[in-house]
Structure 1
């Protein structure tokens, strides 16, 4: 919706929702835009925080991937 998609095209993309559900969600968003935006911003910050924590815990997966590919190339 924010990117210009019509309710009909949203239903085509997400077949598990009905057209009336999409209109209801859009109506809720338009009536409570500030609250929804604040919630989405909070969730985005939380996701960034989790991502940063995981980066500190997990090894650099590109190194692991490179090693696995090198080993695969040596074997076959």
Structure 2
């Protein structure tokens, strides 16, 4: 193997290793960003689920009040 061929191979291996390393770094950064996005989405989903649960409870309370046979709307309005 001549000296020129060895130099070319060393340069190719060095450049190739640098490119592969940069690609791996970009992959790790992308993976980290996706995990952050997923955790943000999970937090938002939990907030929405809590709001839905609170609204369900309010609707159940309102249904109970409205369907109660002893409920007199006119008296309640006058009390306000």
Give me the TM-score of the superposition, normalised by structure 2. 0.35
Please tell me whether Structure 1 or Structure 2 has the larger radius of gyration of its CA atoms. Answer: 2
Higher RCO, 1 vs 2 (CA within 8 Å, ≥6 residues apart): 1
